[in-house]
Chains A and B, each alone.
Chain A
Amino acid sequence: MQELERVGQGSVRVTRKSDKLVIVEKDLATEQMVLAMGPQHPSTHGVLKLECLTDGEVITEAIPCLGYLHRCFEKCCENVDYPAIVPYTDRLDYLSGMNSEFAYALAVEKLLDLEIPRRVEFIRVIVSELNRIASHLVAIGTYGIDLGAFTPFLFCFRDREIILGLLEWASGARMLYNYIWIGGLACDVPADFLKRVREFIAYFRPKAVELQELLTGNEIFVKRTYGIGIMPADVAINYGWSGPMLRGSGVKWDLRRNDPYSVYPELDFKVVVPDGKLSVIGDCLSRHLVRAVEMEESLKIIEQCIDKIPSSEGFNSRVAIPKRIRPKAGEVYSRAENPRGELGFYIESDGKSTKPVRCKARSSCFVNLSAMKDLSKGQLIPDLVAIIGSIDIVLGEVDR
């Protein structure tokens, strides 16, 4: 009855010739489309460009193109004094300036072998944990936007505003603080600061629950993130992932515990890893949940710090700050747990200059983003957006 006639290679066209059904293959070119996602795309969180090879809605390959926000951080550092680098570190991960300053100050203090007053240590932990909550709020809020939920974003920013207000009260700036100096702080916190922080904690606890009801309590949100972009623990370690990303893959790794610094050993907090009940371990939802639960842990840390902090009587926040920073010849690598993962500073000194010979930042976002090629293979465009959002990149830190 039917006679198949094949002409060439490619897609098939069916025609009817008298009483026979003839299938003619036409040479219709089907090729993959190159889709430039970014640098001006709303969900690449800044100026990331992803060069995607797409087959319909399916991504066959996505390569991140970096450098749109490169500011020569490392070269700048070689030309300024050690204390003058602190404001530059604010601009790395501009959503968590306190944490970056903290990491840098730790590195130089390690190089100088400085003794830090206890009250300074506690204030540093309080402000950097506050900043961690603010940073996670942005991560969670923008993740909601990536998935089409606009309202949680504004709820997040409403609460983040309070934190920024507190940090502004302490340091005088809202995002780029220059507050944690090498060996001390720019100034002590204001008189009522700790009381206000307590008030914020009491206010924020129910709001965090409400936020989770709005996101993880929503079936569409769970459907969009459950089982998407799964990263097995071993691959994550091989990629050098850190922070909430690595913990999302089920690895219990937190530098505040595993390589403790400052007063963290004295504090009681959990290292959050997903238990696999709500999410597949290593998927986008796990990473989101880790951030959400970590905010509560940060609140706990702040509460303990407020209980333990020495009084401000006779306290001078600049007492341990060296007059002139000229470290002995040598090199140091120091790392700290930032909201986005491990931020490390490698600093090399020649012993003569007041400027570092080399200052390299190991940025967590950059390393986390490097897995993009693996994660995006075979995903749909909406899933790609969900994956980028769950990586929670800040381009200021990726490009430096």
Chain B
Amino acid sequence: MSTTAFSQFSMPLLMGNSLNVWSEALVGFNIMGLPLGLIIIAVIPLLFIALYSLTYGVYGERKISAFMQDRLGPMEVGKWGILQTIADILKLIQKEDIVPTSADKFLFVIGPGILFVGSFLAYAVLPFSPAFIGASLNVGLYYAIGIVAIEVVGILAAGWGSNNKWSLYGAVRSVAQIVSYEIPAAIALLCGAMMAGTLDMQQINVLQSGDYGFAHFYLFQSPIAWLPFLIYFIASLAEVNRAPFDIPEAESELVAGYFTEYSGMKFAVIFLAEYGSMFMVSAIISVVFLGGWNSPLPNLGSFALNTWTNGPIWGAFWMISKGFFFIFVQMWLRWTLPRLRVDQLMYLCWKVLTPFAFISFVLTALWEIYVP
């Protein structure tokens, strides 16, 4: 199956036997012994996350929430306030770097760092385009699920190190929440992995390509795929602390949760990590269930829409658009729904999502065995 899909795959820029031509070319790119290519591979996702967080993430969230709430949002800095986020960042950079006197300085400083690294490390295995992936691991999906858990350490360090009771509450809630929700999230992703038969993110995408566009996506490949899709989406909201599961940073209960004491650039880093994680889970769900960089358009006879809209550049476009779509849904939910209570959150995880995740796991397995 994988080889046929691969041979059907026609891209003008894809010359060799391997995908990932761009990233492999970059790896070999050294100047005077400096591994410049490796740096660029690391920098491209970093630039992407930073730029996206700046322009789309924060600005988009403010504008989208504004339009949902009958107001205009930022309008002053630049046309339609488009430079507002840059002004905010400039303000945050200028701020004094405060560490509370009674805080545990080491934990307080390292907390945002771990958070940021945790959300950024998963970008290594995200296939941004047919020709570009940071590291084409054969356990990519497993790695992506696992590396998110590092964020828990950062949150706990930030919450405990702040020496603030509200921060501690936020941190404890957050750890309980993320650890719990990883189970349904991982099982739901395993359903996708089972359909693909591989954990390699790039390979999962290749297997979802074909002439019929969206019909090859795993979401439409089996009648039960919507269940793990939905479970993963809900669980991913909890994993990145988005509403209605934003209880770790519930501003009306816990002031700001684990980052109550943070200000200036440390606060900005936590913010950046949060938006980074949002894109990461959105990218994972679109890779596993919605074909990642594959075009959703089908080939219609001589109108070869699918062929025309596939390729490394188009791939990046589709991948990022799908990610943005899910981020938009996350924002939409955030500005519509109230927040759940701690025990209701745990109830939802252990008594609703986890059993249904197991059911969908078994059903997907049966489907894969008995339906060719």
Q: Which residues of A contact B (CB under 8 A)?
A: 33, 35, 41-43, 57, 144-151, 154-155, 158, 214, 218, 220-221, 223-224, 380-383, 385
Mind listing 30 A-B residue pairs with CB under 8 Å?
A42-B251, A42-B255, A145-B252, A147-B252, A147-B339, A148-B243, A148-B244, A148-B250, A148-B252, A148-B339, A149-B337, A149-B339, A150-B69, A150-B335, A151-B65, A151-B68, A155-B69, A155-B70, A158-B70, A218-B337, A220-B244, A220-B337, A223-B340, A380-B341, A380-B342, A381-B254, A382-B247, A382-B253, A382-B341, A382-B342
Q: What's the nearest-Cβ distance from chain A to residue B286, in Å?
A: 26
Sorted nearest first, the 8 A-B pairs with minimum C-beta distance are A148-B339, A154-B69, A149-B338, A43-B252, A147-B338, A148-B338, A382-B341, A220-B338
The answer, among A214, A224, A381, A385, for a CB contact under 8 Å with B169, is A381
One digit per residue, 1 when the CB lies within 8 angstroms of any chain A CB and 0 when it does not, for chain B 89-104 equals 0000000000000000
The answer to the question of B2 belonging to the interface, with a C-beta cut-off of 8 Å to chain A, is: no
Q: Once the chains are docked, how many angstroms separate the CA of A146 from the CA of B65? A: 18
Q: Once the chains are docked, how many angstroms separate the CA of A42 from the CA of B254? A: 9
Q: What's the nearest-Cβ distance from chain B to residue A121, in Å?
A: 36
Residues of A within 8 A of B246 (CB): 148
Q: Once the chains are docked, how many angstroms separate the CA of A128 from the CA of B244? A: 37
Given A145-B252, A148-B244, A224-B339; 4 other pairs, CB 8 A cutoff: A147-B252, A148-B252, A158-B71, A385-B252
Residues of B within 8 A of A383 (CB): 341
Q: Once the chains are docked, how many angstroms separate the CA of A223 from the CA of B342? A: 12
One digit per residue, 1 when the CB lies within 8 angstroms of any chain A CB and 0 when it does not, for chain B 215-243 equals 00000000000000000000000000001
Residues of A within 8 A of B343 (CB): 380
Q: Once the chains are docked, how many angstroms separate the CA of A50 from the CA of B171? A: 22
Q: What's the nearest-Cβ distance from chain A to residue B232, in Å?
A: 20
Q: Give residues 34-80 of B contacting A (CB, 8 Å).
A: 65, 68-71
Q: What's the nearest-Cβ distance from chain A to residue B64, in Å?
A: 11
Q: Once the chains are docked, how many angstroms separate the CA of A155 from the CA of B67? A: 12
Q: Once the chains are docked, how many angstroms separate the CA of A221 from the CA of B68? A: 19
Residues of A within 8 A of B253 (CB): 43, 381-382, 385
The answer to the question of B4 belonging to the interface, with a C-beta cut-off of 8 Å to chain A, is: no
Q: What's the nearest-Cβ distance from chain A to residue B342, in Å?
A: 6
Q: Give residues 309-358 of B contacting A (CB, 8 Å).
A: 335-344
The answer, among B255, B335, B339, B342, for a CB contact under 8 Å with A220, is B339
Q: Once the chains are docked, how many angstroms separate the CA of A146 from the CA of B335? A: 14
Q: What's the nearest-Cβ distance from chain B to residue A51, in Å?
A: 12
Q: What's the nearest-Cβ distance from chain B to residue A221, in Å?
A: 5
Q: Give residues 241-285 of B contacting A (CB, 8 Å).
A: 243-244, 246-247, 250-255
Q: Once the chains are docked, how many angstroms separate the CA of A33 from the CA of B340? A: 24
Residues of B within 8 A of A41 (CB): 255
Name B69's closest neighbour in chain A (CB-CB): A154
Q: What's the nearest-Cβ distance from chain B to residue A386, in Å?
A: 9
Q: Give residues 116-169 of B contacting A (CB, 8 Å).
A: 165, 169
Name A385's closest neighbour in chain B (CB-CB): B253
Q: Once the chains are docked, how many angstroms separate the CA of A208 from the CA of B250? A: 27
Name A56's closest neighbour in chain B (CB-CB): B172
Given contacts A154-B71, A381-B253, contact A220 B340 (CB under 8 A): yes
Are A35 and B165 neighbours in the complex by a CB distance under 8 Å? yes
Q: What's the nearest-Cβ distance from chain B to residue A391, in Å?
A: 15
Residues of A within 8 A of B70 (CB): 154-155, 158
